Structure 1
C-alpha cells in the first residue's frame, strides 16, 4: 500500500517579501493619494495666526450679514490693464463711496500680492490702471463712505493668457 502524505504549506522568505511589499505598497499608495488630494483641493486661504482668525470669525460673519442686508453690491472687471469696479444698490442705482480699495492676493503665497486704490469716475464707477499677472487671484474689495464700510466683496478670478 502506497501512502502518500500531502505536502504542508511552508512559509518562505519569498512569501514574507510579498507580504512586506503589499503592506508598504498600500501605505505608500494611500500617502501619495492623500498628498495629491491635499495639493489639488486646498483653498489657499492663508492667515498669519489661525487662533486670532478663529476668534474674529463670528464678528466678520455678523458684519457680512449686515452689509448684505443693505442690498449694495459690486461688479469687478479686469481687462486690458484696467481694473473696474461698479457699485450699485438693490434697485440698480449707482452708489457713491469716498474710498474703494481692491486687494489682489494669490491663493497660495503672498509674494505677488498688491493693494490697488481705485479712483472715482462717477456714477458708482471706480477704476485704476494696473497690469494683473495671469493666473488665479482672490480679489477683496472694500468701499468706505464717511469712514464706514458700505461694501465688502470677495471674488476669485482667473486671468488667462499673457499679461493683459
Structure 2
C-alpha cells in the first residue's frame, strides 16, 4: 500500500509579510510595556540642570564635610501609625536631644504637590511627624537643626 505524499505548502509573500508584521508587533508591544513600567516607577531626576549642579559641587562637598563633623547618624524613615518616625544618634550612640526637624514630602513621580512636614521629639533621639503621611511612597527632604549645627538628609518612606 502506498501512501499519498502530503501536499507541500508554498511559502508565499503573504507568509513573509505576516512574519515581519508579527515580529514588529511583538517588538512594539514589549517597548510599550517597558515604557509603562519605566514611567510608573521613575523616581525623578537627581538635579534639574547638571551644568548648574556642577558649579555648586564643591560647595556641596564642603557642606557634607561639616555635616559629618556633627557625628549624627540618621536612621531610615519608617511609618508608625501613619506618621514618619526617624531616629538620630550622636557619635557616642546616644539619641540626639532637643533638635528641631522639618521636611518637605515629595511624591517621587510628582503625582501630588510637595508639602511641609514638621516633627516633634517622641523619645530619646526619636522624632515623629506631626502630620499623617498619605499612603504610598514619599521622599522626605529633611533639615535637622540643633544650636548652630544642621544637617540635610533625604529619606524614602513607603
Tell me the TM-score normalized by structure 2: 0.66
Structure 1 residue 71: deviation in Å?
2.5
Q: What residue number does 1:142 align with?
A: 143
1:1-164 matches, within 5 Å, as 12-39=12-39, 42=42, 44-46=43-45, 49-51=48-50, 52-53=52-53, 55-57=55-57, 59-75=59-75, 76-97=77-98, 99-109=100-110, 111-120=112-121, 123-149=124-150, 151-158=151-158
2:117–2:130 Cα contact (<8 Å) kept: no
Distance 1:122 1:11 in 2: 78
1:101–1:116 Cα contact (<8 Å) kept: yes
2:41–2:109 Cα contact (<8 Å) kept: no
Distance 2:141 2:88 in 1: 14
1:47–1:53 Cα contact (<8 Å) kept: no
1:106–1:136 Cα contact (<8 Å) kept: yes
Tell me the TM-score normalized by structure 1: 0.64
Note the alpha carbon deviations across 1:99-129, whole angstroms, 9 max, x for none: 3112222111152432122235675444442
Report how many residues are paired.
147
Q: Structure 1: which 4+ aligned runs deviate by more than 6 Å? A: none
SS of match in other structure, 1:87? strand
SS of match in other structure, 2:137? strand
Structure 1 residue 48: deviation in Å?
7.6
1:97–1:143 Cα contact (<8 Å) kept: no
SS of match in other structure, 1:135? coil
